[in-house]
Amino acid sequence: MRAASRIEWAVEMIAPQPTDWLLEVGCGHGVAVTGVCEKLVDGRIVAIDRSATMIAAAKQRNADHITAGRAVLETVELAQADFGDARFDAVFAIRVGVFARGVPARELAVVARFLKPDGRFLIFHDEPSGNVEDITGRIEARLTDSRWSVESVRACRVDRSDVVCVIARPGRSENGRPG
C-alpha cells in the first residue's frame, strides 16, 4: 500500500480545521504532519515518535511548517509524554502497534489527559493479513478495557488493503476529568 494514499485518507478523516490543535502519536517520516499542516492557519500539530531517527526525518520533511510555527516535533514515547497546558482537539495514531496488539493503558491515559473535553482520538490501523472485523475488534477491546467509548468505525480499501479508523472518546468521571 502506498503511504501517501493511506495517509491521505487518514487526513481526510481527521478533517483538520484551520485553528485546531492536533497531536500525532508515532508520526514516522511525518507524511501526515505535512498533510495536516496544509489545512492549518492558526492551528498547530504536535507530532511525537519514540525514534529519534524518525523525528529527524519528519523535521527535515516539515522544515517550513516548523519554521512557520505550525508543527512541533519531539522524540518521546507516548507513555512518558507531557504536553504541559496544551489540550488537543484531536489526537491520532496511524499504524502504531500498541493500540492493536499491545497493552495501551498508560498510553490511553496520556491521550485522555491531553484531549479537550469534546476531543476525539482517531486510531488508524492496517495489517497485511488483517481484516476489518479482526483489527476493529482488537482496537475496540483495548479501548473499552481502559473505559473509552467507541464513537464510530470507518474502513477504507486503499490499494487492495483495508485500513480501519476507530474514533473514540475517553470515559469521564463525575467531576468531568478522564476517569
Ligand X SMILES: C[S@@+](CC[C@H](N)C(=O)[O-])C[C@H]1O[C@@H](n2cnc3c(N)ncnc32)[C@H](O)[C@@H]1O
> Using CB under 6 A as the criterion, which residues of the chain lie in contact with ligand X when the complex forms?
3, 25-28, 48-51, 54, 77-78, 94-96, 98, 107
85 three-class SS: coil
Q: 3-class DSSP state for residue 149?
A: strand
Q: How far is the CB of 51 from ligand X (least distance, A)?
A: 4
Q: Count CB neighbours of 158 within 10 A.
A: 18
Complex with ligand X: residue 41 or 74, whichever CB lies closer: 74
Rounded to a whole number of angstroms, the distance between the first and last alpha carbons of the chain is 37
Instruction: Please state the closest distance from residue 31 (CB atom) to ligand X, in A.
Output: 6
At residue 113, what is the residue type? R
> What gap in Å lies between CA 81 and CA 107, rounded to an integer?
9
Alpha carbon 75 to its chain centroid, in Å, reads: 15
Q: Using CA atoms, how far apart are residues 26 and 47, in angstroms rounded to an integer?
A: 7
Residue placing its CB nearer to ligand X in the complex, 161 or 172: 161
Question: Given the complex with ligand X, which of 132 and 172 has the nearer CB atom?
Answer: 132
Indicate the residue among 102 and 137 with the shorter CB distance to ligand X: 102
Least Å distance between CB 10 and ligand X?
Answer: 8
Nearer residue to ligand X within complex by CB, 78 or 164: 78
Q: Which three cell numbers stand for residue 132?
A: 476489518
Nearer to ligand X, 18 or 128 (CB): 128
d(Cα 54, Cα 169) in Å, to the nearest integer? 28
> Distance between CA atoms of 81 and 88, rounded to whole angstroms?
14
Q: Tell the smallest beta-carbon distance from residue 66 to ligand X (Å).
A: 18
Q: Shortest distance, CB of residue 54 to ligand X, whole angstroms?
A: 4
